Amino acid sequence: MNHPVFTPSVSIPSARLAETDPELSCLLAAETARQRDKIRLIASENYASAAVREACSSHLTNQYSEGYPGARYYEGQQIVDQVERLAIARAKELFGAEHVNVQPYSGSPANLAVYLAFLKPGETVLAMRLAHGGHLTHGSKVSITGKHWNVVQYGLDPETKRLDYDAIRALALEHRPKLLIAGHSAYPRQIDFAAFRAIADEVGSLLMVDMAHFAGLVAAGAHPSPVPFADVVTTTTHKSLRGPRGAMILCRAEHAAKIDKAVFPGLQGGPHNAITAAIAVALKEALQPDFAEYGRQCVANARALAERLIEHGFDIVTGGTDNHLVLVDLRSKGIAGKPLAAALDRAGLVANYNSVPWDDRPPQDPSGLRLGTPSMTTRGFREGEFRQVADWIAGIVASGLDEDVIARISAEALALASSFPMP
């Protein structure tokens, strides 16, 4: 059965672009329509505001600025220095950080900069296992971080599927890591940063927290902040923070020189100045009262989604969520994550397949599905809409991925998405 066609029924992004490159212009219009017409449930995605996107496309993209404010290697930096200082000041205010570097190109280079700043090749790192919710740059063997450092990995408790701080402490005492990493990309619970700090102090390690996924929740006051506990905190500036595709490193003042040197000239040259400006805009937006309501609603929506899926008989890793994401273990349903994610996309529900703890399937075709609430919370979804999303997911699974059911839900999802305009 035919599915609704998501046609680029929006205006061409720019008359100049349409004239210069009509082929690309049409592709961008189609992508705008896709983001408008589908219900986006990928935990690492969001909608940047028009102001953030305008800053991304500003004339600052023409400017090269190796170095830091007041210490550049090129002339003509009078405005750029002010822009970068503004972004830094807002990040300090928002997160209570002593020092902030806003130049990393993305989250992975930001994490790598921490390794470069504090570690020699071969030194020991203790970090969360990728299959249990960690990130590639937390020492996965396929990442440079797993190839150049001795990475010991901790995981979840087999019964609770939650972090076992006693087990983490035992590993730390055994291996004496130089760097202890907390943070995740697919763990649906809050982290006890005080417990990590205590472990780091006991074994004499530095503590890094990767808050890329939940930085927006921290900014909104909907999630505990790692900043008072960690030596250094890394984060992307998109995801739940709702900014452009960039990153920041927040650290204690005593580590500022090492972090700055690791970013530049250690890993990269000139920063992307237009992105720095967009980060400044996003940080100002995050300082506004309505951002706090958005953050609280992200968490409330994720809980509603998880609870309704449990009612439908789905296994939710850890039995629920404290943040913006829900990790579904599909093994009891007899279906893998990849075919379900593809079916959901055909139904207008965009999610990603994901490994679950102790997964017996390969990462390319795992047993889980990861769902997130930031994008649709930005568009105005509340608990009722996310319960409807759970009902649709359950209906598709119960049907055995029947194409008639998928087509029906696709039309219903399009109608619901149309009621909540994107920024």
| Residue positions annotated with a catalytic role | 64, 66, 210, 236, 239, 245
Rounded to 5 degrees, what are φ and ψ at 328? -105, 125
Which one-letter DSSP state was computed for residue 263?
Answer: I
Quick check: 319 and 309 in contact, CB under 8 A? no
Can you tell me which residue has the tokens 């923070």? 241
Q: Which of 96, 99, 116 is nearest to 249 (CA)?
A: 99
Kindly list the distances between the CA atom of residue 222 and the CA atoms of 124, 139, 253, in Å, as whole numbers in the listed order: 33, 28, 26
Kindly list the distances between the CA atom of residue 143 and the CA atoms of 137, 208, 331, in Å, as whole numbers in the listed order: 6, 18, 28
> What is the rounded (10 degree) CA torsion for 115, 119, 123, 129?
-20
Spatial distance between the Cα atoms of 246 and 75, rounded to a whole number of angstroms: 24
Spatial distance between the Cα atoms of 369 and 241, rounded to a whole number of angstroms: 22
β-sheet bridge partners, residue 261: none
What DSSP assignment string belongs to 330-398? -GGGT--HHHHHHHHHHTTEE-EEE--TT-SS-TTS-SEEEEE-HHHHHTT--HHHHHHHHHHHHHHHH
Q: Which of 335, 360, 364, 362 is nearest to 352 (CA)?
A: 364
Spatial distance between the Cα atoms of 122 and 150, rounded to a whole number of angstroms: 5
Kindly list the distances between the CA atom of residue 245 and the CA atoms of 68, 181, 262, in Å, as whole numbers in the listed order: 20, 23, 20
Contacts 24+ apart (CB under 8 A), 144-149: 144/112, 145/111, 145/112, 145/115, 148/115, 148/121, 148/122, 149/115, 149/119, 149/121, 149/122, 149/123, 149/124, 149/125
The number of beta carbons lying within 10 Å of the beta carbon of residue 252 is 16
The H or E element containing residue 40 is strand 39-40
β-sheet bridge partners, residue 181: 208
Length of the chain measured in residues = 423
Q: Determine the Cα angle at 61 with ends 57 and 62, to 5°.
A: 130
